[in-house]
Chains A and B, each alone.
Chain A
Amino acid sequence: MASNGLIRVGAVAYDPRVVPIWEGMRDYFREAGVPIDYVLYSNYDALVDALINRGVDIGWNTNLAYLKVMKRTGDHARVLAMRDVDANFTTVFVARTDTGVKSLTDVKGKRLALGSADSGQAAILPVHFLQLAGVDPDRDCTVLRFNLDVGKHGDTGTSELEALRALRDNEADVTALADATWIRETTEGRVDTRQIQAFWTSPEYCHCNFTVLPDFPQAKGEEWTRALLGMTYDNPRWRPLMDQEGLKAWIQPTLEGYRVLSEAVAHQRLDEKW
């Protein structure tokens, strides 16, 4: 707790709109009777350090940041809540139609564009799904990496958009990106779907969550989660906030969906320096 008794929630300021979101969250929690303060960091490693070193009480983590916290707490960190969209995230593989790619095995021999190295949805998991299908990108493909906004774990989506641009400009044949990014770009007409089409959707996995250290008081955590889950999309006060955070409901966490990223991280030996 902060010296004033408030629960401190840490988050990463991946975009200027994070500030109004958290100002709104602070208003919400004050009215819900569980006042919080928020602390913003420029990158997830700093947030994870802050959580471990008790600079904040709750971390609004990406899936990768959560795994880092788990490693540093001997798998004892707890999760308080997540967004509805965090429980069933998927990665979509898309290809230029002139490449004839129709499956993951077809990616062999192709130019593969990948997002930021620390993006679960646009780099770590795509490599893992290809490996599970018997394609080793480093060995079998020409890989173009767009390491943009590293440290923000793909939150900004800029590397995904760069990868899509690379397909459009015929610099790459295949890329993989968050389903939400893909559907936003296509429904808003920024993708020519005659030129670029989706051909594979990953199994569902988990994305962000609110993480606490093992000794965070159980009752306090339950009270905080109950308050958060009381935020409803039908309430005009909070709807804009939920729209900005891209959710329609806060939910109790499900953790099964972190396993696949955990396996990917282990397989790619990304956790050796954690």
Chain B
Amino acid sequence: MLLRPALETIGQGEPIGVRATHPSVEHDLRAWCRVMGHRWLGLSPSGAYLFEKGPHAELGGADWGVRIPPRKDGDLETRDWMLGRVADIPATADTTAGFAPRGAVIEPGVPPFHFTINERDAVWAAEVADLYEQATASQWDASKDIPWSALTPLPDAIERAICQLMTFLAENEYSALYVPAKFVPQINPRFAEVVMFLSTQMMDEARHIEAFTKRALANGGGLQYSALSTQLSLKSLFDQHDFTTASFLLSVMGEGTFLDLLKFIEAHAPDPATAEICRRARIDESRHVRFGIAHVKWYLTAAQENAEKLMAAVRQRAEYMRSVTEVSPRIVEALALLAAGALEADRLPAGFEKVRVLLHEMNDHRVKRLVACGFSGEQAAEMSQMHTPNFM
């Protein structure tokens, strides 16, 4: 143990001298050298025992003396750890580094871990450490942070509309939980910040599933109907096997569209609990959207022809979804009813008009997000039109 630090600082074949007072050190050290594969040289004229570091011995080169500079507020943020070897984010990650933290010195002989996502461009986003930081700071508790006690009985039609929307939202959030979950074990741990961010995304989605389901059950209604068109849409998302494509379709296209949807429900919510759930969920979703945009931007910057790959994925999904030409009637009607405020014939047209405006805004915002990713205006417009009527 005492020798280890010295061995770590020298190279293979270099000599090391040991001075010791223990009477049997000559015999013990010699035996240890043989077992460890060092070459025993014996007693030097100066009275030190000498040996030569063997080829399979201690590793060298671990960082030492790294000190993250303190922030004014005393915090230590995740992006601050980009120091020393930790800052080296490889373009292609070593598949034999296993679970060693990025920056650690790894003993040889690690069994292959079969991570399949080993290219930085396939997962990375410039702001990922910041987004992770924001995510951890923004966690909330769906049991305590929602004004559940403010719920009071609502007209059946309105409660039914809310319950239908909550069913729809929860169903979509299952896919938003499962899609990143499917990729996490494939991502090489060298890209830890991405894995950590996706973990917060999964936690967010779990909480949204919790909150939406609770709301459906909290006020005399219950979970309502799951539409075939929703399942088709989510299946086509879950079946994506490329991380960037999945992240693009889920976060940029789907969750991006959900921002407008959640804002709409929040604005027309008949009770404070629904409004608060939608407000909080929207803040979380906006982080996922930002990660999606940042990653796609990185991906498109790496190679401009990547834009065509993503466009092809959008076309392919639209082809799979061709039997579904419009938003599920149950969802449109529930949204229109909320916007109308009551199931009354003279108020409903205004509600439907608001939904029409919402769909128009969704398209406009999708185009803007696609342009922010780095697509041309033309590409953005084409892809936005092809997006699933299911929103997600």
Is A236 close to B, CB under 8 A? yes
* Chain A residue contacts of B48, Cβ below 8 A: none
Q: 0/1 per residue, B88-128, Cβ < 8 Å to A? A: 00000000100000000000111110000000000000000
**Quick check: which of B24-32, B143-151, B323-331 contacts chain A, the rest being far away?**
B24-32
Is A136 close to B, CB under 8 A? no
Shortest CB–CB separation between residue B76 and chain A, in angstroms?
Answer: 35
Say whether, besides A198-B27, A234-B109, A236-B96, A180 and B56 are in contact (CB < 8 Å). no
Which B residue's beta carbon lies closest to that of A177? B31
Main secondary structure of the interface of A (DSSP, over half): mixed
Shortest CB–CB separation between residue A250 and chain B, in angstroms?
Answer: 13
Q: Provide the bound-state CA to CA distance between A183 and B30, in Å.
A: 9
* Chain A residue contacts of B32, Cβ below 8 A: 183, 187
Q: Provide the bound-state CA to CA distance between A198 and B32, in Å.
A: 13
Q: 0/1 per residue, A222-243, Cβ < 8 Å to B? A: 0000000000011111010000
Q: 0/1 per residue, A129-170, Cβ < 8 Å to B? A: 000000000000000000000000000000000000000000
Q: Provide the bound-state CA to CA distance between A167 and B41, in Å.
A: 30
Q: A197 and B23: CB pair below 8 A?
A: yes
Q: 0/1 per residue, B10-41, Cβ < 8 Å to A? A: 00000000000011101110111011010000
Select which of A89, A200, A233, A237 is within 8 A of B56 by beta carbon.
A233
Q: A183 and B109: CB pair below 8 A?
A: no
Main secondary structure of the interface of B (DSSP, over half): loop
Shortest CB–CB separation between residue A35 and chain B, in angstroms?
Answer: 24
Which B residue's beta carbon lies closest to that of A102? B23
Interface size on A, residues (CB 8 A): 28
Is A45 close to B, CB under 8 A? no
Q: A183 and B37: CB pair below 8 A?
A: no
Q: B28 and A90: CB pair below 8 A?
A: no
Q: A183 and B31: CB pair below 8 A?
A: yes
Which A residue's beta carbon lies closest to that of B27? A198
Is A248 close to B, CB under 8 A? yes
Is A182 close to B, CB under 8 A? yes
Is A105 close to B, CB under 8 A? no
Is A92 close to B, CB under 8 A? yes
Q: Provide the bound-state CA to CA distance between A237 and B112, in Å.
A: 9
Q: Provide the bound-state CA to CA distance between A124 and B22, in Å.
A: 29
Q: B24 and A248: CB pair below 8 A?
A: no
* Chain B residue contacts of A89, Cβ below 8 A: 34
Q: Provide the bound-state CA to CA distance between A82 and B28, in Å.
A: 24
Q: B109 and A233: CB pair below 8 A?
A: yes
Select which of B24, B30, B55 is within 8 A of A197 by beta carbon.
B24
Q: B108 and A183: CB pair below 8 A?
A: no
* Chain A residue contacts of B35, Cβ below 8 A: 85, 179-180, 183-184, 246
* Chain B residue contacts of A198, Cβ below 8 A: 24, 27-28, 31
Select which of A236, A246, A248 is within 8 A of B110 by beta carbon.
A236
Q: 0/1 per residue, A181-199, Cβ < 8 Å to B? A: 0111011000001000111
Q: B31 and A199: CB pair below 8 A?
A: no
Shortest CB–CB separation between residue B72 and chain A, in angstroms?
Answer: 46
Q: A199 and B34: CB pair below 8 A?
A: no
Q: B112 and A90: CB pair below 8 A?
A: no
Shortest CB–CB separation between residue A252 and chain B, in angstroms?
Answer: 17
Give the size category of B's interface with A: 20 to 34
Q: Provide the bound-state CA to CA distance between A200 and B27, in Å.
A: 7
Select which of A85, A94, A187, A237 is within 8 A of B34 by beta carbon.
A85
Shortest CB–CB separation between residue B79 and chain A, in angstroms?
Answer: 33
Q: Provide the bound-state CA to CA distance between A233 and B23, in Å.
A: 34
Q: Provide the bound-state CA to CA distance between A140 and B96, in Å.
A: 58
Shortest CB–CB separation between residue B28 and chain A, in angstroms?
Answer: 6
* Chain A residue contacts of B96, Cβ below 8 A: 236
Q: Provide the bound-state CA to CA distance between A235 and B112, in Å.
A: 10
Q: Provide the bound-state CA to CA distance between A187 and B26, in Å.
A: 15
Q: A193 and B109: CB pair below 8 A?
A: no
Select which of A85, A186, A201, A248 is within 8 A of B30 by beta carbon.
A201
Q: B56 and A88: CB pair below 8 A?
A: no
Say whether, besides A85-B34, A85-B35, A236-B96, A186 and B56 are in contact (CB < 8 Å). no
Which A residue's beta carbon lies closest to that of B26? A201
* Chain B residue contacts of A187, Cβ below 8 A: 32
* Chain B residue contacts of A199, Cβ below 8 A: 23-24, 27
Q: B34 and A180: CB pair below 8 A?
A: yes
Q: Provide the bound-state CA to CA distance between A84 and B54, in Å.
A: 12
Which B residue's beta carbon lies closest to that of A88? B34
Select which of A88, A201, A236 is within 8 A of B27 by beta carbon.
A201
Select which of B26, B30, B56, B111 is within 8 A of A236 by beta carbon.
B111
Q: Provide the bound-state CA to CA distance between A236 and B32, in Å.
A: 24
Q: Provide the bound-state CA to CA distance between A84 and B23, in Å.
A: 28
Say whether, besides A197-B23, A236-B96, A248-B37, A90 and B109 are in contact (CB < 8 Å). no
Q: Provide the bound-state CA to CA distance between A239 and B56, in Å.
A: 11
Q: A84 and B30: CB pair below 8 A?
A: no
Which A residue's beta carbon lies closest to that of B23? A197
* Chain A residue contacts of B22, Cβ below 8 A: 193, 197
Which of chain B's residues 56-98 have a Cβ closer than 8 Å to chain A? 56, 96
Q: Provide the bound-state CA to CA distance between A183 and B26, in Å.
A: 12
Which B residue's beta carbon lies closest to that of A194? B22
Q: Provide the bound-state CA to CA distance between A197 and B35, in Å.
A: 18
* New A-B contacts (9) at CB < 8 Å, excluding given A193-B24, A200-B27: A88-B34, A179-B27, A193-B22, A198-B28, A198-B31, A201-B30, A233-B109, A235-B109, A236-B112
B residues lining the A interface (CB < 8 Å): 22-24, 26-28, 30-32, 34-35, 37, 54-56, 96, 108-112
- Can you list 12 pairs linking A and B with CB atoms under 8 Å apart? A90-B34, A92-B31, A179-B34, A179-B35, A180-B34, A182-B27, A183-B31, A197-B23, A198-B31, A199-B23, A236-B112, A237-B111
